[in-house]
């Protein structure tokens, strides 16, 4: 097993936090507890489904990222990047900035630790020989 840098573990913690935020948001919208959403049922259904879908995608990426995986690395960067960009299409308030931080910090850490995700470890190379 490869030694994982501490910053990779911190990245995983932020990804898990991101998953929890999406699940919580989906539940809040589903139970009609969000005070600022318009009272359009189809819009709430779509937002709930999309929130749970993003959480599911992030769970899958989290599982794949636990070992160095190039595909999961680039997909995670893409998903977090798109989510970060979509944050700006909303009225940006303090909660949006906090949510943006939950997305930007793992992106920065993923880029910082790209060698861990993109290069196979020496122990894996020895096993394949």
Instruction: Give a yes or no: residue 29 inside a domain.
Output: yes
Instruction: Give a yes or no: residue 19 inside a domain.
Output: yes
Concatenated DSSP letters for 19-72? HHHHHHHHHHHHTT--TTS-S-HHHHHHHHHHHHHHHHHHHHHHHHHTS--HHH
Q: How far apart are CA 17 and CA 120, in angstroms?
A: 27
**With left for phi above 0 and alpha for psi between -120 and 50, is residue 21 left, alpha or beta?**
alpha
pTM > 0.85: yes or no: no
Choose among 119, 114, 110: nearest CA to 10: 110
User: What confidence tens digit (pLDDT) does each residue in 6-42 have?
Assistant: 999 999 999 999 999 999 999 999 898 887 777 888 9
Q: Residue 126: its pLDDT value, please?
A: 42
User: What confidence tens digit (pLDDT) does each residue in 50-92 have?
Assistant: 999 999 999 999 999 998 889 999 999 999 999 988 888 877 7
Instruction: Give a yes or no: residue 1 inside a domain.
Output: no
Q: How far apart are CA 125 and CA 129, in angstroms?
A: 7
Q: How many structural domains does the chain have?
A: 1
Which residues make Cβ contacts (< 8 Å) with residue 38, sequence separation at least 6?
Answer: none
Instruction: Give a yes or no: residue 55 inside a domain.
Output: yes
Instruction: Give a yes or no: residue 72 inside a domain.
Output: yes
Q: Which domain holds residue 120?
A: 6-128
């Amino acid at each position: 097993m490869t030694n994982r840098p501490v910053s990779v573990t911190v990245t995983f913690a932020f990804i898990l936090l991101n998953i929890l935020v999406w699940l919580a948001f989906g539940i809040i919208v589903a139970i009609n507890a969000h005070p600022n959403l318009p009272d359009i049922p189809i819009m709430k259904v779509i937002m709930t489904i999309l929130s749970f879908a993003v959480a599911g995608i992030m769970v899958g990426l989290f599982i794949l990222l636990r070992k160095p995986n190039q595909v999961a690395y680039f997909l995670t960067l893409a998903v977090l990047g798109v989510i970060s960009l979509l944050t700006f299409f909303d009225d940006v308030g303090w909660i949006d900035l906090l949510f943006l931080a939950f997305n930007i910090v793992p992106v920065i850490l993923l880029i910082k630790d790209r060698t861990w995700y993109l290069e196979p470890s020496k122990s894996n190379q020895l096993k394949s020989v």
